[in-house]
Amino acid sequence: MQILKYGLLSLGALIMVLPFADMFIGALRGPSDVFANPPRYLPAEPQWGVYARVFRDLPMGTWFANSIIVTGIITVLQVSTSTMAGYALAKYDFTGRASIFRLVVGAQMFPFFLFIIPIFFILRFAPLMGGNDVAGQGGSGLLGTYTALCLPFAVTWYGVFLMRQFFMAIPDDLLEAARLDGASEYRIFRSIMLPLVKPAIATLTLFSFVYHWNEFIWTMTVTRTAPDLQTLPVGIYLLQGAFEDLDQKALQQAALAISILPVIVVFLALQRLFVGSDFASGVK
């Protein structure tokens, strides 16, 4: 039975790893490997230099830095705002709390791309920004800046809902006991509540990082007039129309392979927090 279990797990792991392996190996194939008959999976003469050429022939460093900056800022903003808003909705009784929670739940039905045009014009005509006057005319507003790339994603409705549900599972008795001991509200939030919801924070961090690392539509819209702010997904997408021969296709595939490395690193760094909750062991 154990052999069958581990065999199935190994097969599942192989299926999951195979697409990533094919991406890395595919970039190493030369023209002779592509047109080989019979076809061969492993290249006879791996083109190891293609990964160095990615940084030499393409502005990969700029794309990589922009992706790190934008994704990092958005992830920090979303985790911070979602954690604070979720805690307030779960543990504080105030007028309008139920209505705000209904708004949070209902807002998740509307995808972001529905709001791209109004958000674009709000940033474009922001008063006194980017050369604009008080009426929002004369300049480009916030377009072509990191602010335009990050600000629309500062709050995520899903994140607020997720954190609220985790905070709801924590007994109010813990908060009351801390208050009786003289702990401030900030101390309760920082020292008691946050450690108990580490798995939720790790989950939200991973979801936010992966989504915005691969986000394309908004970044493409904002950086059309600011190529220096293009991220990896936009830069690699623009290569599709620029290169047609097999050598350049290998270059594009190598860029794709490199672009997924940060996602793998973040997942491996956070995976241990998915195993269990500190809160569950604490209650026992």
Question: Rounded to whole angstroms, how far apart are CA atoms 228 and 225?
Answer: 9
What region does 154 belong to: left with phi over 0, alpha with psi -120 to 50, or beta?
Answer: alpha
Same domain, 103 and 232: yes
pLDDT digits (tens, 9 = 90+) for 16-50: 888 888 888 877 877 666 666 676 777 777 788 88
Q: Is residue 255 part of a domain?
A: yes
Same domain, 237 and 105: yes
Same domain, 40 and 107: no
Same domain, 256 and 119: yes
pLDDT digits (tens, 9 = 90+) for 156-169: 999 999 999 999 98
pLDDT digits (tens, 9 = 90+) for 117-158: 999 999 989 888 888 888 888 888 888 889 999 999 999 999
> Domain range holding 218?
58-283
Q: 3-state DSSP: the chain helix, strand, coil percent, rounded to 5? A: 70, 0, 30
Q: What is the pLDDT of residue 267?
A: 85
Exposed e or buried b per residue across 5-43, where buried means at least 16 C-beta atoms within 10 angstroms of its C-beta: eeeeeeeeeeeeeeeeeebbbbbbbbeebeeeeeeeeeb
Residue 119 CB contacts under 8 Å (≥ 6 apart), including other chains: 152
Same domain, 8 and 124: no
In this structure, which amino acid lies at residue 19?
Answer: P
Enter the tokens of residue 146.
């990191």
Same domain, 31 and 65: no
What SS3 state is found at 90? Answer: helix
Q: What is the pLDDT of residue 24?
A: 84
Q: What is the pLDDT of residue 32?
A: 67
Residue 19 CB contacts under 8 Å (≥ 6 apart), including other chains: none
Question: Rounded to whole angstroms, how far apart are CA atoms 164 and 156?
Answer: 12
Average per-residue pLDDT for the chain: 85
